[in-house]
Each structure stands twice: as C-alpha cells, then as structure tokens.
Structure 1
Amino acid sequence: MVYEIQIILFYQRQFTLTSPKHVFQSALPAERGVSRCPVCKCLQSSVAGFVLENPGFSVAKSFFSYRRVRVCTGVSVMEWYAHKTLDNGVFWIQERFYESGNRANIWLIRGSHQDVVIDAGLGLRSLPDYISSKGLLGDDTKRKNPLLAIGTHVHFDHSGGLHQFQQVGVHKAEVDALANGDNFETVTWLSDREIVENPSPGWTARQYRVKAVQPTHILQEGDVINLGDRQLTVLHMPGHSRGSICLHDKDNKMLFSGDVVYDGSMIDWLPYSAIGDYVRSCERLVEMVDKEEVELVMPGHYNTFGAKRLHRLASSYISNAGTCHKVSTCAVKSVASLALRFSNSCSVC
C-alpha cells in the first residue's frame, strides 16, 4: 500500500523529516512511465521519481513550500487478493500482484456445516483475514467447524498459505514434506519480477520459504469431506506430484483438479513427478468424462473448462507420453532438480 503524505515547510522554520527508508514524490499516472523503488520495488513514476536520498534529515527553507510524497508500506490484505462469486456457493480467489503462470487459483466452497478452501496460494498476506473481512463465509460461521484448507498438492504456489489455517489437509504421501517445510519437494521457485507490488517493505523473493505446518487431516483415495449439504470425494491422482489429488463434487459434477489437469501444458518433469502415474491419472479422467461424472473443471491454474476440454487434455497427454517424451523429460527433470537444490541451499544461506 502507498500512503500519500503532505509536507508543508513554513518561512524560516526548520523541520526534521523522520520517515521510512524510501520516500518518493507522488507518482504520475501509469501511462507516463514507471520505475521501481530500489528498496521495496514498489511502482513509482519515472517522471516524478525524485528520491529523497537521506530520509530522516533536517530541512530548512526560507520560503513556503509544499510537497506531496509517497511512502511504501506494502500491499494490504484487501488489496492483495481479489475474488469472483460463482454459482453453488463457490468463490474464485486470486493473488492480484503475483503475475506469473504459476499463480494458483484458490477456491472457497461454502457448506451448511463446513467451509473448505482448496489451495492457499503463496501465503504472503493473510488469506483467512481476507475471507473474513469480505464476509465470504456468511453470517452463520459460529455454527460451523473451523475453515478447512486443503492442498491439492504441496507445491509452493498452492501450499504457501496453508500455515495460516487451524485445519489443514493434504494427501498422506506429502504430509512429511509439509510438516518439515521441505522447500525442495514444494519446488519453491519465486522471483522478484513475479511480485509486482511487494507485500511488505523490503520484501524480496530470496526470503520466501514455504512454512512448515502439521496437517490435521491426512487424506487418501476415497475419503469424503462432508460439508453438510455437499460432499467432496478425494481422488488420488499422482503424476504431477506424488500426492496430487482432485476433489470431486459428485452431485454438482464439479472437479477441483489442482495441477492434475488445467488448460495448459501439464508439467511432469519436477522432482517427484512420474509419467507412468500421470498417464494412469489421465486415463481416470477420461473415464470420468465418459461416465458423465464431470461437467465443470475448477483447475489449479488459468480458467475453468468443461467436460469436452477435459477429455481432450487428458487424451492428448496419454497419446504424447511415449519414449521420446520420457527421455526428454528425464533430462529436464535432472536439470530442474539440480536447480532447485541449488536455489534452496542459497535461500537458506
């Protein structure tokens, strides 16, 4: 968030300006061109980008002057997230200032006795505070169990905010990774350029880590999460990661697919990816479409889509998962694993 402060200096009067490390003149409109604050990388005008190089200095003027400045204080919770209300008590939440193909969809599903969040984003600002402040849980929260956050898998873009919740569920294959804060298995890979407005002053991507949290709900194939007036069935769909799951709302024929399938290139070259598992998971998806069990997919990334597109995406992966794909993927996987090991060792340092 950027606050504007008006500083007025009167005739022959000396003032001491005490301020944060980085203070700027008021920015001009974005179309006039922008640059970034060298400390917190917040956007500011390149035209009006006069930097007070020594904040906390004494200023003396022999005339009346007026100056408006910008103080970088980070992005508020209410600004960080945005949401869209869908049908059937479903809310689609995203992190506005995380501009990357890795930006995950966050789904909030309201039930008569239990509300569920599916995936929790990076966790740079409080997701529970946003949900509460926006009144997304309605007026009857006292009659319900605490909000349950489920990770479709533990990759950083989906699991970074899970530590903010009292109740957390992940598949049993990835419980240890989340409980230990294993940032290799969470494939933590975040750059400064992807965060276009910093969540707090001085924040850098180098500091970012997925925080350890002990899951309260250890999920496995066939588990049913009872929300009261609707149920979500856990489908273990490994391939993208070893603990990837989909959540199936059978009555409404909705599938919350995480990164098992989305309308883009499916990733099978990460440390715990497995092409053979991915093929079998895609075969299950094709079978679900053939049985008319899915009409709408709520994916982990990008836009929602229907059954025909789901069938096409799953079938395409199966047909392309031949020997050439396996060989090339093996090479990419080795490089990716080395890069992640190096990146996370540097982050610890």
Structure 2
Amino acid sequence: MTLIKDRWFTVQEIGNSTFAISEYGHWEKVHSFLLLGDREAALIDTGLGIDNIKRITDQLTSLPIKVLTTHVHTDHIGSHGEYNEIYVHEGDKDWLVNGIRGLSIEQIREHISRDITIPTPETFNPNTYQPFQGEPTGLLKDGDVIDLGNRQLEIYHTPGHSPGHISIFDRLEKYLFTGDLLYDQTPIYAYYPSTSPVDLVDSLQRISNIEDVMMIYGSHNSLGLEKNILKEVKKGIIYLKENKLVKFGTGLHKFNGFSVQF
C-alpha cells in the first residue's frame, strides 16, 4: 500500500504502524523506516539528505521520534539535523561528530549526485552538499531495548560494514532491519580500510540465528526479503570460511539472494 504522494519519497505501509520511506530516484535506492509505538516512534536512518525526510514523518505521526542510526554513512544520516533525538552506536560516534573516515567531501559529493533519475528539489546542490555532523543524544549498545510503549526494538551490534553498525529486531512485528549488513541485488561491501570482512561475516552469522524473524528489511534495493534468505546466509558463511575467503582482496562472492565483496 502506497501512502502520501510526494515528489521525492515513496512511502509504503509494510506492517502495522510500520512505514518504509524510500528514495527510488537515486541509484542507491535507499530505505528508511518509521515504526510507531503508542508512546514514541523510532525512525531507522534518515536517508540521503537530498530532500527533507521530516516532511514525510510529520505527515505520518505526531509522536516524539527517536532516530536510530544503523551506521554513519552519508546515505543514512541525510536528515539527522532535522530531529532532536539521535542515537548511534559508540563505534560510529566519532564519524557522526567529526566526519566519516576515509571519504573526502569531493568523493561524497560525487557519490551523492550521480545517476539520479527524477528531479531533485531546488534546495539540493551537489556542489555544496554537506553530510550531517553533530553530537548524538545518546549511545546504543548491543542488547539495548528501545521501548516505544507497546513495542520493543532490540539492538544488535553488527559491525563489519562500519565499526558501529547495528541491526534492529522489532519484537512486535518480528521484522529485522539490517541496514547495510544484508540486502539483495548489489553487493554488501567490506573492502574499504574502515571495514572488516571478519566482523561482517561474524555479524551475518549472528543475525542468521535470531529466532522468529518473519521479514528482513535492508536499507537498499528490494523492499523486504523473505526469512528464508537467512538459511542462504548460513550456507554462504560456511562456504566463505571453508575456502578462507574472509579477507580483503578476495573479491565478489555471489550466493542465492545476496552477495558480498571483500
């Protein structure tokens, strides 16, 4: 079900009081997610920052919103500055405050502005685009539970793609939000110096063992993956480990439904 006609964002209800806010006009096909409780709401990431995602969340809820950052890369923190409560894992705090390590502003601006297929808002200028930097409201750690009232979100520290990457399990809907740890169509990557192939594979193994997952929602490409993909993840992990491929430079590894690149 599609909600809200908007020039940049596509809004879909993916479950009870659960919304995907997608940016299909950009080559990365980024998804952010708004989860409503009876007392508070959680916004998982804030998108690219090409347009202001708060325009959408204001239409969907009047509840106070906590921003839960899966990780500090440009395409996940774009509208962080629009919200009062921002949370991040300690492993990515330095990037949020001082800038993303290993990427120049020139690289970021080139990355954000290429292969856009729909008109961007007049407020977007790739030549002056500046990623959010600022102090978080608080830090997340493994095992934390965010209580929205009638809805609890469990935090899993799943490093590899970034040091402080997290995944979030919604105990109510049984949805697992995996950020850039697991999605389809394009490779999950851990080939930058700031990434860790070993941590990424360990994190994939960990989420593959979470019980009662009904759907997986990554931050890119297809909106929603069936739970059976976790069985394919387990098979892929065995293959990578047995063949000693979990290290920088081994390249692209394709499996049934997903791929990784080291």
For the aligned pair, the TM-score class normalised by the smaller chain equals 0.7 to 0.9
1:86 is displaced (CA, Å) by 2.0
Higher relative contact order (CA 8 A, sep 6+): 2
Q: CA deviation at 1:96?
A: 4.1
Hey, what's the Cα distance between the residues in 1 that align with 2:176 and 2:245?
31
SS in 1 for 2:12: strand
Deviation at 1:320, TM superposition (A): 2.4
Q: Secondary structure at the match of 1:80?
A: coil
Q: What is the aligned-residue identity percentage?
A: 29
Shift of 1:240: 1.2
Equivalent position of 2:212 in the other structure: 293
Higher normalized helix content (fraction of residues): 1
Please give the alpha-carbon distance, in whole angstroms, between the structure 1 residues aligned to 2:103 and 2:88.
14
Letter matched to residue 236 of structure 1: H
Gaps of at least 5 residues in structure 2 are 252-262
Structure 2 counterpart of 1:270, from 187, 192, 196: 192
Matched, 1:120 2:46: yes
TM-score by length of structure 1 reads: 0.63
Which residue in the other structure is 2:10 paired with? 82
- SS at 2:22 equivalent: strand
1:171–1:219 Cα contact (<8 Å) kept: yes
Alignment RMSD, CA only?
Answer: 2.4
Relative to structure 1, is the Cα distance of residues 310 and 263 closer, same or farther in structure 2, using a 3 angstrom cutoff? Answer: farther
Equivalent residue, structure 1, for 2:201:
279
Report which stretch shifted further, 180-189 or 301-310: 180-189
Q: CA deviation at 1:317?
A: 4.2
Deviation of the 1:324 alpha carbon: 4.7
**Offset at 1:126?**
1.6
1:234 maps onto 2:155 in alignment: yes
The answer to whether structure 1 residue 109 and structure 2 residue 31 are counterparts is no
Q: TM-score, normalised by structure 2?
A: 0.83
Q: Decide which structure has the larger Cα Rg and report it.
A: 1
- Amino acid of the structure 1 residue aligned with 2:14: L
Distance 2:173 2:149 in 1: 14
**Which residue does the alignment assign to 2:257?**
none
Contact 1:254 1:294 in 2 (8 A): yes
Q: Give the Cα–Cα distance (whole angstroms) in 2 for the partners of residues 287 and 106 of structure 1.
A: 24
Q: Aligned partners of 1:185 and 1:235: how far apart in 2?
A: 26
What is the CA–CA distance in structure 1 between the aligned matches of 2:248 and 2:69, rounded to whole Å?
30
Shift, 1:152, TM fit: 0.4
1:106-127 Cα deviation digits (max 9, x unpaired) = 1111110011110111112221
Structure 2 partner of 1:170: 88
Number of residue-to-residue matches in the alignment: 240
Q: Answer yes or no: is the 8 Å Cα contact 2:35–2:43 preserved in 1.
A: yes
The one-character-per-residue Cα deviations of 1:82-121 (angstroms, maximum 9, x if unpaired) are: 20112221111112432x1x23211111110011110111
Q: Which amino acid aligns with 1:241?
A: S
Q: Tell me which amino acid in the other structure corresponds to 1:136.
A: L
Q: Quote the residue 2:182 is aligned against.
A: 261
Contact in 1 for aligned 2:54/2:79 (Cα 8 Å): no
Aligned to 1:249: 170
For residues 263 and 80 of structure 1, the distance between their equivalents in structure 2, rounded to whole angstroms, comes to 23
* Equivalent residue number for residue 67 of structure 1: none
Q: Deviations over 1:283-304 (max 9, x none)?
A: 212222xxx3311111111221
1:252 positional shift: 2.6
Matched to 2:44, the amino acid is I
Partner residue, 1:341: none
Cα distance between partner residues in 2 of 1:314 and 1:93: 29
Match status 1:221 vs 2:145? no
Give the superposition deviation at 1:314.
4.6
Residues 212-264 of structure 1 deviation map (CA, whole Å, 9 limit, x = unaligned): 12110210101111110100010000111111100111243211111111124
Distance change (3 Å), C-alpha of 1:185 and 1:159: farther
